[in-house]
Amino acid sequence: MSTLPLISCRGLTKIYPLSGVEVHALRGVDLDIERGEMVAIMGPSGSGKSTLMNILGCMDMQTEGSYYFDGVDTGDLDARELAGLRNKKFGFVFQRYNLLPRASALYNVEIPLFYSGMYGDEVKNRALAALKRFGIDDLADHRPNQLSGGQQQRVAIARAVVNNPLVVLADEPTGALDTTNSLEVMKILQKMHIEQSVTVIIITHEPEIAGFCPRKLIMRDGKIISDQFSASDVRR
């Protein structure tokens, strides 16, 4: 069994050209995340937390520095290899759900399986099992506009985990939800982390949401300024 961190970053720098000016979104970030950790990344708008998440999820590339995922240097991968890594190893949850509006909940969950090359009954059965896992298999035929915000986010989480990823990356997953649904979504993510050792990384600006995570990173001006370990808020 590998003793290397699942995620290892050294000197991550991201520079965006903007109107002839270089904007430094990340400034030499060093970060290790072990398998099975649950980590919150916090910081004000413009701190670099979303940029860091995009690089960790192989949706963007750093300007400088290195990012190793599961021992693989992502800088050595081409676009096709990065897409394969995203689909097989990562699940993504977004603030606004990012569901196809005209497709059923079932079809939305099936999409990552299609990209993995699956077809036929296996796709439907696995997608239904994912929906059932989160208590919404009875809504499989519903479109997003027929679902509440909490139900839509459950569909989005089912889609994120249907391929059994190593890492779930959640960008403000409760930002569009009320308090009750926010806590329910966090309980779902926390349960996956505890029971299945899924690595969960959450971008949030809400201390109560970050409280579910045993490890909290705080970013400012493109740097990690605090890395804290504490007991998580376990709610069953």
Whether residue 109 lies inside any domain: the answer is: yes
What does the pLDDT look like over 64-103, one tens digit per residue?
999 999 999 999 999 999 999 998 999 999 888 899 999 9
Whether residue 129 lies inside any domain: the answer is: yes
Q: What is the pTM of this model?
A: 0.91
What does the pLDDT look like over 135-169, one tens digit per residue?
999 999 999 999 999 999 999 999 999 999 999 99
| DSSP annotation string for 43-81 | --TTSSHHHHHHHHTTSS--SEEEEEETTEEGGG--HHH
CATH number at residue 225: 3.40.50.300
* Structure tokens given for 190: 């926390």
For 135, the domain range is 36-53+86-229
Residue linked to tokens 């059923």: 104
Residue linked to tokens 């679902």: 147
Whether residue 75 lies inside any domain: the answer is: no
| The total number of structural domains that make up the chain | 1
Whether residue 161 lies inside any domain: the answer is: yes
pLDDT at site 2: 54
Whether residue 155 lies inside any domain: the answer is: yes
What does the pLDDT look like over 30-49, one tens digit per residue?
999 999 999 999 999 899 99
Residues 6+ apart with CB under 8 A from 176: 95, 96, 97, 149, 153
Whether residue 136 lies inside any domain: the answer is: yes
Q: Is 136 exposed, middle or buried, given 0-12, 13-18 or 19+ CB atoms closer than 10 A?
A: buried
pLDDT at site 233: 65
* Structure tokens given for 25: 């979104």
d(CA 19, CA 227): 34
Distances (CA, A) of 111 to 87, 124, 152, 206: 10, 10, 15, 30
Whether residue 20 lies inside any domain: the answer is: no
Average pLDDT of the residues of the chain: 93
Q: Which residues of 194-212 are buried (b: 16+ CB within 10 A; e: fewer)?
A: eeeebbbbbbbbeeebbbb
